[in-house]
Amino acid sequence: MSEAPLLRVEGLTKHYGRQIGCEAVSFSLWPGEVLAVVGESGSGKTTLLGCLWGDLTPTGRVTYRDQEMGALSEAERRVIQRTEWGFVRQNPADGLRMNVSAGGNVGERLMAIGDRHYGTIRHTAAEWLRRVEIDPARMDEMPTAFSGGMRQRLQIARNLVTRPRLMFMDEPTSGLDVSVQARLLDLLRSLTRDLGLAVIIVTHDLGVARLLSDRIMVMRGGRVIETGLTDQVLDDPKERYTQLLVASVLQVAG
Amino acid sequence: MMADGGYNFAYLDEQTKRMVRRALLKAVAIPGYQVPFASREMPMPYGWGTGGVQVTAAILTPDDTLKVIDQGADDTTNAVSIRAFFARTADVATTTETHAATVIQTRHRIPEAPLTNDQILVYQVPIPEPLRFLEPRETETRTMHALAEYGLMHVKLYEDIARHGEITTTYAYPVKVAGRYVMDPSPIPKFDNPKMDGMAALQLFGAGREQRIYAIPPYTRVKSLDFEDHPFSVQKFSGQKCALCGATHVYLDEVVTDDAGGRMFTCSDTDYCERRRAAGFLP
């Protein structure tokens, strides 16, 4: 863990009318660090992600590399979103353009930042498809022709092509079957290591958190109830709720 | 001002024409920007030029001479009925000669003869939003225009090249106006795109169903989008020439002449073809 934090969050609060979305969430994220946000459905994980990304307008402060996100214009925020940040959605169809070929999906960000050379765009797109283990020979196929796991990998490539510093992931593996999940987790782990990517990953799956994350944040009822190094929290949970969560992971006898 | 007992001059009432003119002024002030306007029901179906007709009605004066073309021709149903409509409701002079007209309403073509700066070209536009088929959310496309986020437009061109080896968009080919707004030039063939660039005449675009007006002022830079390694190019007619006047530098229509595979190419701009023939050009 080096120098200054990449992202600093202070007192982030979002209410839906009288309902609490998330309340007084504060944390810092350092470059290259993977933070898992875990908790049951309705605990505010996705709300938190939406507030950080900018889909929702919370109170509190989000500072990214010394820039307060709330003070930026929409144009500036969108530039950061499509160059230095990435967002991997749970359902790949939400994060991809399903009527645009795989190559076009990966190339979109390059064209958005002003790349106007077809050959270069195509070459870069093929390179990233290869890195997420999609055969570049299939780059002109539509995502609809891809399996769920491939679509999710395509979504990741689409985000990584501008070499972002920070990725937000909302349950990236939970729509996939177990064997595909394992491969995707493997891929994510090596990519984050190789690229020095900071990641905030929302998951209800403690296995995913254990495998990928350096630190973990447990949420319940919109509040962070426990935070710490992943192994520490999962092996020796302090809070009753965390203990329950850890204990309730299905164990397959064998 | 009444014409043909009962109709207000050029059919629309004066308040409506004012409203359209306000939209037109704004459109001219911000080249390529789609200005919303309160489009009226016109006595013709949507898709037949209700937007263009409203723009024409708003700018027409009793001294104007009107020409209406559809696919370059003056004698097609749409052109004939719109010309008759204004002849009846505004009692303006009509013509088929490009150089004699002060207002030209068009669907799908720009006349071959260069226009002058005392002429106005009115386009009928079915879908004014160039990003529509890539991003269906209108809220999102408006934001993209506002922030000049036009990468998506290139995704469409990318897809063309990836699938067909070249940019196969042949009509409604997106352009960037005055270095700022990306605009749908209406479904004119891309052959006509270069004519928009720096055109001396004022170009007005009306989309009736979509309730949008936009404009290109005279002598404005209009650039067709492309890639560095796949530059913009217009249709080629591979050695074909007009069977009536012999022109090769014009947009040609392919006409099927019998059921035995017979076909011929002719100028799509009928007035241009007639003038060439009158001047002695032969096939």
Q: If you average pLDDT over every residue of chain A, what do you get? A: 92
Read off the pLDDT of residues A139-148 as tens digits, 9 standing for 90 and up. 999 999 999 9
Q: Which of residues 98-127 of B touch A (CB under 8 A)?
A: none
DSSP-derived 3-state class of residue A99: coil
In this complex, do B158 and A118 lie within 8 Å of one another by their Cβ atoms? yes
Nearest-Cα distance to chain A for B231, in Å, is: 10
A170, exposed or middle or buried, with CB in 10 Å at 0-12, 13-18, 19+?
buried
DSSP-derived 3-state class of residue A67: strand
Give the pLDDT score at B120: 98
Q: pLDDT tens per residue, chain B (283 residues)?
A: 555 568 899 999 999 999 999 999 999 999 999 999 999 999 999 989 999 999 999 999 999 999 999 999 999 999 999 999 999 999 999 999 999 999 999 999 999 999 999 999 999 999 999 999 888 999 999 999 999 999 999 999 999 999 999 999 999 999 999 999 999 999 999 999 999 999 999 999 999 999 999 999 999 999 999 999 999 999 989 889 999 999 999 999 999 999 999 999 999 999 999 999 999 998 8
B132 at interface of A, judged by CB pairs closer than 8 A: no
Residue in chain B closest to A106 (alpha carbons) equals: B155
- Residue A107: closest CA among B152, B134, B144, B224: B152
At residue A223, does pLDDT exceed 80? yes
- The residue-averaged pLDDT of A82-106 equals 94
B158 at interface of A, judged by CB pairs closer than 8 A: yes
Q: Which chain A residues are closer than 8 Å to B155 by Cβ? A: 97, 100, 104, 107-108, 111
Distances (CA, A) of A47 to A22, A35, A96, A204, A233: 7, 16, 21, 14, 23
Q: Give the length of chain B.
A: 283
- Residue A82: closest CA among A115, A40, A56: A115
Rounded Cα gap, residues B189 and B25, in angstroms: 27
Q: Which chain B residues are closer than 8 Å to A138 by Cβ? A: none
CB-nearest partner of A104 from B159, B226, B230? B159
At residue A245, does pLDDT exceed 90? no
A242, exposed or middle or buried, with CB in 10 Å at 0-12, 13-18, 19+?
buried
- The residue-averaged pLDDT of A154-172 equals 94
B161 at interface of A, judged by CB pairs closer than 8 A: yes
Nearest-Cα distance to chain B for A158, in Å, is: 13
pLDDT band at A1 (very low <50, low <70, confident <90, very high): very low
Q: Is residue A26 within 8 Å of residue A10, measured between CB atoms?
A: yes
Return the residue in A72, A100, A141 with the most chain B beta carbons within 10 A, the one to mutate for interface testing.
A100
**Quick one: what percent of chain A has pLDDT higher than 70?**
97
Helix axes A102-112, A74-83, angle to 10 degrees: 130
At residue A72, does pLDDT exceed 90? yes
In this complex, do A140 and B162 lie within 8 Å of one another by their Cβ atoms? yes
Residues of B with a catalytic annotation lie at: 32, 242, 245, 267, 273
**Quick one: what percent of chain B has pLDDT higher than 90?**
93
In this complex, do B151 and A103 lie within 8 Å of one another by their Cβ atoms? no
In this complex, do B163 and A97 lie within 8 Å of one another by their Cβ atoms? no
Read off the pLDDT of residues B73-96 as tens digits, 9 standing for 90 and up. 999 999 999 999 999 999 999 999
Rounded Cα gap, residues B122 and B104, in angstroms: 6
In this complex, do A118 and B147 lie within 8 Å of one another by their Cβ atoms? no
Rounded Cα gap, residues B13 and B9, in angstroms: 8
Residue found under tokens 């609809």: A144
CB-nearest partner of A117 from B152, B159, B227? B227
Q: Which chain A residues are closer than 8 Å to B151 by Cβ? A: 108-114
Q: Is residue B96 within 8 Å of residue B74, measured between CB atoms?
A: yes
- The residue-averaged pLDDT of A138-159 equals 95
Q: Which chain B residues are closer than 8 Å to A107 by Cβ? A: 155, 158
Give the pLDDT score at A180: 86
As for the ipTM of the complex, it is: 0.86
Query: Pairing mode, if any, of strands A198-203 and A85-88?
Result: unpaired
Residue in chain B closest to A107 (alpha carbons) equals: B155
Return the residue in A118, A123, A138 with the most chain B beta carbons within 10 A, the one to mutate for interface testing.
A118
Rounded Cα gap, residues B185 and B224, in angstroms: 10
Rounded Cα gap, residues A241 and A247, in angstroms: 10
E-assigned strands of B233-275?
252-256, 263-267
Paired residues of A166 in beta bridges: A85, A198
Nearest-Cα distance to chain B for A117, in Å, is: 5
Q: Which chain A residues are closer than 8 Å to B230 by Cβ? A: 118
DSSP H or E stretch at residue B84: helix B77-89
In this complex, do A101 and B134 lie within 8 Å of one another by their Cβ atoms? no
Rounded Cα gap, residues B45 and B124, in angstroms: 13
Q: Which chain B residues are closer than 8 Å to A72 by Cβ? A: none
In this complex, do A121 and B158 lie within 8 Å of one another by their Cβ atoms? yes
Encoding tokens for residue A249?
């992971």
Residue found under tokens 């509040």: A223
Each residue of A15-28: b (16+ CB within 10 Å) or e? eeeeebbbbebebe
Which ranges constitute the DSSP H helices of A73-170?
74-83, 92-95, 102-112, 118-131, 148-160
- Residue B9: closest CA among B59, B51, B48: B59
Nearest-Cα distance to chain A for B198, in Å, is: 24
Give the pLDDT score at A252: 62
Query: Pairing mode, if any, of strands B212-216 and B202-207?
Result: antiparallel
Distances (CA, A) of B245 to A158, B257, B272: 53, 17, 9
